[in-house]
Structure 1
Amino acid sequence: MAKNDPTPVIIGVGDIKNKSLQVENASEPAALMKQAILESLTDTNLSTAKQDALMSAVDDLSVVATWTWPYPDLPDYLSKLLKINPAVRHLSEHGGNSPCQLLDEAARRIAKGETKVAIVTGGEALASLRSCTVAKKMPPPGWPAPDPNTPGSLHKIGLPIHIYPLYENGFRARRKQSIRENHEESSALYAQFAEVAKENTLAWNHGKAASKEEIGTVSKKNRMICFPYPLLMNAFNTVNLAAACIVTSAGHARSLGVPESRWVYPLSGAGSAEDPDFWKRSAFDSAPAISASIDLALKNAGLQKGQIDLFDFYSCFPVVPKFASHHLGLPTGPSDNPVTLLGGLTSFGGAGNNYSMHALTAMTRELRKGNKKFGLVLANGGVLTHQNVSILAKQPNKGSVPYADQDPHAEINLPIPAFVEKPQGQATIEAYTVQFDRNNKPSLGYIVGRLESGDRPRFIANHGDEFTLAELSSMDKEPIGRRGTVSLASDGRNLFCLDAQSHL
């Protein structure tokens, strides 16, 4: 390869875990990111002098937005901590897809000659923040003042705990699984993830693994959150984790003397998105943005599905890796080649928006071993809203292009049902979930339904009677496709009641 070869390569990766929950050890997210970046410098195997030269050449810093702390300008603050002056300082939007998106964008800039050395990083300190909150040490000692201009609000419907179960239930019904079969599948899948995390020294739950029975059994410690997901099928975000990747051109890596044994090539990236309003989606039994992103990333890398031999799929809830596995023809339950390197967001730790940065660092280390050829990381953001895929390899693209330069955005053009805010009449259940209280009792049913009249518009409703709530909470009766009546209540909510014959 020529000295001026613009092919992007990952030359250093680093991860940091601060397991301490003591207030005096409460490192802020930016401090954890700095440590991860310094770890990635060491990972290049360069001398101290050349590490200094590499850092002085950093002209591109991309940071995953943190859940933990509202920094006024996180990239600028981190640049000052690192004593660097990058021309490009970019903060992502919020979303778990961000790590793969940032890597893709940085690789493109390097391939075009716009960037010499890029750092992509992210981190969270939610466990420390919680400790400081409990100890009434806010803001945490030594942390910068928070940005006062960050309004936010939560809606009673539309939270991740509501929306992902809609898809799990829809995908289950599409595959003709019983509810119990589906629950067994999810429990076994997450038990395998837990075993992976047990062996991962960077995982929050390193050294311990919940069993399939523990994950699948609803109990006081593992209460049902929203049907069909108990707590241990939900992401665990109260962690202190950070990760970073250093990316440069093959030419610059060679001039620095970075051993080629450290090089891993980003081959391609792709992304897609659905409407952020979940009721404006085509269906609840599939995830077209996941499929489209995977397909475009494979196409841009010049690969077929069967050539990928390493995976890490985002897993805030079981349905996400199931959708990706199903599309790639892989088992939707546990398999001989697990679809996680980290251990999943429950056992490795959710790490806010930054989980997949850890997947990229893990993928880099695994590919360096030389036993596998191609790795695929799926990063998911929002409520199955944003998807980004990165494909990494130990060898560069075979073509003359240094990095896949095709359009990285996969369009989705599927019909969307009309939506009616105040439905009346006969209807069927399209998707549903039930929120449970802290005593493991069903408290509120959520129904996405379709009217039987006209062009079958979609609506959202709550349960209208106790029988309907009980049926929606059953492990033995499939609610999807069942008929009922939707009407407008005096408080303005839509209420859905299963038909009288359903009581028989």
Structure 2
Amino acid sequence: MSPSHPPADRTPVIVGIGEITDRPSEITDGLEPLVLLVEALKRAEADSGVKWLGEIDSLDVVNFLSWRYREPEQLLSSRLGIRPKHVYYGPVGGESPIRHLHEAAQRIARGECSVAAVCGAEAQSTATRAERAGVTLPWTPFAHDVEEPKRGAAFQKPLAVKLGVFRPVSVYPFYEAAAAAHWGKTPREAMAESGALWSAYSQAAGENPNAWLKRRFTPEEITTPSADNRLIAWPYTKLMVANPTVNMGGALLLTNLAKARAAGIAEHRLVYLVGGASAQEPRDYLERDQFVESHAQNAVLTATLDLAGGRAEAFGAIELYSCFPCVPKMARRTLGLGADVMPTVTGGLTFFGAPLNTYMTHAACAMVRKLRGGVKLGLLYGQGGFVTKHHALILSRDAPSEPLAQDTSVQHEADRHRGPVPPFVTEAGGQATVESFTAIYGRDNEIEHGVVMLRTEDNSRTLARVPAHDRQTLAHLLNIDRSPIGSSGAISRADDGVLEWRVG
């Protein structure tokens, strides 16, 4: 007996994808995010071959950071001449495009809407160029009275902010160092893995016509510091971190299977949504139990893997979020993927480009192209914050046999594995061991200071500085052949009141 399928009018399908990469020669010719959104949606409509834009009754807009608008979702609706029943401007988060896509499909499955759009855009390259040149852009006026969305420092402890470990580039190294030591890798081996992994992402970017950087970088180019590839926060160089200075827009159009067929869209152009999962970690990263893995990431990827029959080999194409190397390195271990598996269909946030929250919109477009090209099953995994928010989604060339599930949260599973969280203290003395660490560099490739995350003698957690003049301790931390994780040293208090740590 053949498997039953959900009703065609409750089966969500992706019918159109659109992308635009804007590289203006003159600053004032750069397109603002709102214009990029409209163009991406028009391209998605053209890709589908059907006039959908006037029928959109569900619209999700990924959060902007390069330009500030007052009610951008309403501005976009007005420009499109539509009044969707559901219209939503999302919060900050790199996982948000996948969540928007998943939730739009769930609305179609519930019969709440029949045509949905998910879109995002940024113009950080033009905005940055204009600011540096003192040029006023002829865009929709910047909404100065709209509050900037909270992120980064707003959710972290004052000591983390004071020590400079409240930005993604200086927080992810804590996971990088702790996880590598947990896996039994020396820093040199961990760096080699990052270089090879990032080189694979650059290879995919070189094949993506929408990428910002269209060439393959060798592992050595990626990991070797230079004037053009400076160290930012140990062990990450410029070519190992997300590149937000791009101008890009992306959009996807969804409808139900019955409507798509009635519109005459060929079956091989339709992409189905099988299901996925979501979970998150505490927003304050210092309130987590450890840094060798993410329980939320594990729970999300394991649940998604179960939907594919428990075998990662079922995925013919994969997109593992790639703001920093530790994220896909952890993810592929959870999935049981070997180093030979291509981790991206898009090119990664360094090489394809990181249009801030909306990279995964482009990843979803790239995945649709793969599925239309013959791949049967694809995995999209996005994350946001500081390894904080996680969402994964499976796309398929074939119709699923079960209705799209409405409950995606696997938070209970993530919480079940979470161990006791050590109390965070700002007063400490005596000996303490290194839980993780990084070093923050200036633009001259010189260390500004090191930062160690410590466990004290009573197993409390704290942060401490290693001043630039303490060459012995810095050499201990940055030894390429031996991890300092677990090593012991003495805590003292500096004249400015900040704790400092010295090895030995």
Aligned length: 483
The whole-number CA distance in structure 2 between the counterparts of 1:7 and 1:19 is 38
Q: Secondary structure at the match of 1:376?
A: strand
Structure 2 partner of 1:255: 262
Q: Which amino acid aligns with 2:176?
A: E
5+ long unaligned stretches in structure 1: 500-504
Matched, 1:363 2:367: yes
The whole-number CA distance in structure 1 between the counterparts of 2:318 and 2:144 is 37
Shift of 1:290: 1.3
8 Å contact from structure 2 (residues 305, 335) kept in 1: no
1:125-183: CA deviations, max 9, x gaps?
11111222233123x11333324232568533221111111111111101111111111
Structure 1 partner of 2:139: 142
Matched, 1:462 2:465: yes
8 Å contact from structure 1 (residues 95, 353) kept in 2: yes
8 Å contact from structure 1 (residues 442, 473) kept in 2: no
Query: 2:284 aligned to 261, 269, 277, which one?
Result: 277
Query: 2:220 aligned to 210, 213, 218, which one?
Result: 213
8 Å contact from structure 2 (residues 67, 142) kept in 1: no
Name the % identity: 35
The whole-number CA distance in structure 2 between the counterparts of 1:142 and 1:388 is 33
Query: 2:379 aligned to 376, 380, 388, which one?
Result: 376
Structure 2 partner of 1:487: 492
The whole-number CA distance in structure 2 between the counterparts of 1:498 and 1:269 is 45
Structure 2 partner of 1:288: 295
Give me the TM-score of the superposition, normalised by structure 2.
0.92
Matched, 1:314 2:335: no
Call closer, same or farther: CA 1:9–1:301 in 2, change over 3 Å. Answer: farther
Query: 1:438 aligned to 434, 443, 448, which one?
Result: 443
The whole-number CA distance in structure 2 between the counterparts of 1:201 and 1:469 is 43
Shift of 1:266: 1.1
Q: Secondary structure at the match of 2:502?
A: strand
8 Å contact from structure 2 (residues 231, 238) kept in 1: yes
5+ long unaligned stretches in structure 2: 154-160
Structure 1 partner of 2:333: 326
The whole-number CA distance in structure 1 between the counterparts of 2:258 and 2:59 is 20
The whole-number CA distance in structure 2 between the counterparts of 1:301 and 1:477 is 39
Structure 2 partner of 1:73: 71
Call closer, same or farther: CA 1:147–1:268 in 2, change over 3 Å. Answer: farther
8 Å contact from structure 1 (residues 420, 458) kept in 2: yes
Call closer, same or farther: CA 1:253–1:84 in 2, change over 3 Å. Answer: same
Shift of 1:303: 5.3
The whole-number CA distance in structure 1 between the counterparts of 2:47 and 2:292 is 43
Q: Which amino acid aligns with 1:129?
A: A
Q: Secondary structure at the match of 2:260?
A: helix
Q: Secondary structure at the match of 2:357?
A: coil
8 Å contact from structure 1 (residues 488, 495) kept in 2: yes
Matches within 5 A, 1:7-26: 7-26=11-30
CA RMSD of aligned residues (A): 1.8
Matches within 5 A, 1:48-447: 51=51, 54-138=52-136, 140-151=137-148, 154=153, 155=161, 156-206=164-214, 208-300=215-307, 304-331=311-338, 333=339, 335=340, 337-370=341-374, 372-399=375-402, 401=403, 403-411=404-412, 412-413=414-415, 414-415=418-419, 416-447=421-452
Q: Secondary structure at the match of 1:13?
A: strand
8 Å contact from structure 1 (residues 449, 460) kept in 2: yes
Give me the TM-score of the superposition, normalised by structure 1.
0.92
8 Å contact from structure 1 (residues 296, 408) kept in 2: no
1:221-242: CA deviations, max 9, x gaps?
1111111111110111100111
1:185-207: CA deviations, max 9, x gaps?
1111111211111111110012x
